[in-house]
């Protein structure tokens, strides 16, 4: 799972090729890479905000550390909680 996690329009998603994504919307550009979202499995909801993610993680015993939150932390969350989070293509 490589790429960059992006929070846009209330949804987290993994962008595997950020340069291709930046060129979307321009004729002849883009690689057709699939967009991804982080899904909270118990409810099937897409994690759409920091507050929703924080609420879930607090319930799992995680401590708040969003001052330096980045894609490494997102990857860590998914790997350490595979029965709670899943990355899906949209």
DSSP string, 33-83: PPPEEEEETTTTEE--SHHHHHHHHHHTTPPP-GGG--HHHHHHHHHH-TT
Percentage above 90 pLDDT, the chain: 10
Question: pLDDT category, 44, cuts 50, 70, 90?
Answer: very high
Percentage above 70 pLDDT, the chain: 72
User: Would you say how long the chain is, in residues?
Assistant: 90
pLDDT at 26 (0 to 100): 47
Domains of the chain, by residue range, sit at 4-89
Query: Phi-psi category of 59—alpha, beta or left, where left has phi over 0 and alpha has psi -120 to 50?
Result: alpha
In terms of pLDDT, which residue wins out, 81 or 3?
Answer: 81
Give me the half-sphere count of Cα atoms (radius 13 Å) on the Cβ side of residue 78: 18
Q: d(Cα 28, Cα 14) in Å, to the nearest integer?
A: 23
pLDDT tens, 2-20?
677 777 777 777 777 655 5
């Amino acid at each position: 799972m490589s790429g960059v996690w992006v929070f846009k329009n209330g949804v987290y998603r993994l962008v595997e090729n950020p340069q291709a994504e930046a060129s979307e919307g321009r004729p002849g550009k883009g690689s057709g890479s699939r967009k991804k979202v982080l899904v909270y499995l118990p409810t099937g909801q897409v994690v759409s905000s920091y507050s929703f993610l924080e609420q879930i993680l607090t319930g799992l015993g995680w401590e708040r550390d969003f001052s330096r939150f980045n894609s490494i932390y997102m990857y860590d969350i998914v790997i350490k909680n595979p029965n709670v989070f899943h990355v899906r293509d949209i």
